[in-house]
Amino acid sequence: MIMPLNQQTQYLTVDGGRIAYEVAGDGPLVVLAHGMGQSRAAYRFVAPQLVAAGYRVAAADLRGCGESAAAWPSYSRTDIAGDLLALIRHLGGPAVLIGHSIAGGAATIAAAQEPGLITGIVEIAPFTRAQAMKLGDLSNRSYRRGAYRMAGAMLGSVTQWLGYLDHAYPGRKPADWTERQARIAAELREPGRMKALQSMLKTSPADAGAKLADVRCPVLIVEGSLDPDWTDPRAEGEAIVAALPAGIGRLAMVDGAGHYPHDQFPEQTVALIASFLQENTRA
């Protein structure tokens, strides 16, 4: 498995199981949380650049994922937020929390629950609001294909999940794409991993959406312009910013990116994150 920081795996026991993470660097704390069906290796191109820029970077495996325990009572965004807050407390906080997809919603909840521990959040392609699919959405071919493959993954198909990932990276693929797909497939075939993904896919972002108005720290929303999980990714990002208290959120678009802009276009995504960190952290 490719490690984003090339550090030894550490573990934190929390209520319900054990979370794996690694940490490197010195400076203000930044915590990275990946999306469902992945691991902390999703940040393999991002984490080293943040360490080099002068940050102490911790990359965690979500519950059910990577090297964290596979079986948990539940996998909601609220659950994930609790794990991340526990990790930040363990590492001495406060921190800027960066969350992708389901972990973007978890970042919202964490910031609302414990504002003293979270100095800022970056949400990459976040599922942070309850989704209401309209019949007309299915006329969008890209959205329809992604939804079909995600439905197959919800039924337990590793092949369909890999197909979804292929679709969610339109055009440009990372140089290690074949290796990463093989690693993800192997992880999902470990006992309990696919069940964890299925459980995450069935969760609702409503718990995160309910907390948007309670966030007090600065927020950066990063969306890929070609993200197939929404018919209009910009409109989704704008809706999240609008639901936050006035003046604390802003949206940045990564042109040509799908649901994984930090993996497809890491240099551009890191530049956005670095600018946000410079504005919202102190050495």
Does the structure show a pLDDT above 60 at 5?
no
Average pLDDT along the chain: 93
Whether pTM > 0.85 for this model: the answer is yes
Task: Assess whether the previous peptide bond of 94 is cis (omega < 30° from 0).
Answer: yes
* 43 within 8 A of 59, measured Cβ to Cβ: yes
How far is the CA of 36 from the CAs of 39, 134, 203, in angstroms? 8, 24, 11
Q: Are strands 249-254 and 118-124 parallel, antiparallel or unpaired?
A: unpaired
How do residues 45-93 score in pLDDT, each as one tens digit?
A: 999 999 999 999 999 999 999 999 999 999 999 999 999 999 999 999 8
Kindly state the tokens that stand for 34: 């990946």
Closest CA relative to residue 205, chosen from 109, 113, 134: 109
| E-state strands within 41-94 | 56-60
Q: Read off the tokens for 182.
A: 């093989």
pLDDT in tens, 134-188: 666 667 788 788 888 988 999 999 999 999 999 999 999 999 999 999 999 999 9
Query: Do the bridges between strand 17-24 and strand 56-60 make them parallel or antiparallel, or are there none, so unpaired?
Result: antiparallel
- Can you give the pLDDT at residue 147? 84
Long-range CB pairs of 236-244 (<8 Å, 24+ gap) are 236/129, 239/129, 240/123, 240/126, 240/128, 240/129, 240/212, 243/129, 243/209, 243/212, 243/213, 244/212, 244/213, 244/215, 244/219
All structural domains of the chain: 10-280 (3.40.50.1820)
